[in-house]
Amino acid sequence: MADYSRILQDLEFINISTDQFTVFEWKPEGSYKSFILDLNVIKQNPVSNIFFHMFRGNMKIVHIRLKNLIYTAGSTNEVQFQLLEALIERVAEVFNEIYDIDSYIMYDNFSTTVLNPFKDEVDKIIKTFNEIKTVVELKVPCMVCNGILPVIVKKSFVDNAESYPVPLVYNHKGHAILCFIDKNYDIRGVELVNITG
Please provide the DSSP assignment of 81-99 as one string: HHHHHHHHHHHHHHHHHH-
Q: How far is CA 163 from CA 41, 154, 157, 158, 185, in A?
A: 34, 16, 11, 9, 13
| DSSP bridge partners of 171 | 176
User: Judged by CB, which is closer to Zn ion: 106, or 195?
Assistant: 195
Distance in Å, CB of 175 to Zn ion, minimum: 6
Question: x/- binding map, residues 23-62, to Zn ion, per CB under 5 A?
Answer: ----------------------------------------
CB of 139 to Zn ion, least distance (A): 13
Q: Which is nearer to Zn ion, 145 or 169 (CB)?
A: 145
Q: How far is the CB of 53 from Zn ion (least distance, A)?
A: 18
Of 47 and 173, nearer to Zn ion (C-beta) is 173
| Secondary element (H or E) of residue 41 | helix 36-43
Please provide the DSSP assignment of 159-193 as one string.
HT-SSSSEEEEEEETTEEEEEEE-TTS-EEEEEEE
Question: What x/- string results for residues 101 through 140 when contact with Zn ion is judged by CB under 5 A?
Answer: ----------------------------------------
CB 39 within 8 A of CB 74: no
**145 counts as binding Zn ion under rule CB under 5 A:** yes
Residue 81 beta carbon to Zn ion: minimum distance, rounded to whole angstroms: 16
CB distance 140 to 148 below 8 Å? yes
Residue number with CB closer to Zn ion (72 or 82): 82
Q: Would you count residue 144 as binding Zn ion (CB under 5 A)? A: yes
Could you give the CA distance from residue 34 to residue 32 in angstroms, rounded to a whole number? 6
Q: Are 181 and 189 in contact (CB under 8 A)?
A: no
Binding Zn ion by CB under 5 A: which of 125, 142, 152, 166? 142
Q: Which of 144/148 has CB closer to Zn ion?
A: 144
| List of residues contacting Zn ion (CB under 5 A) | 142, 144-145
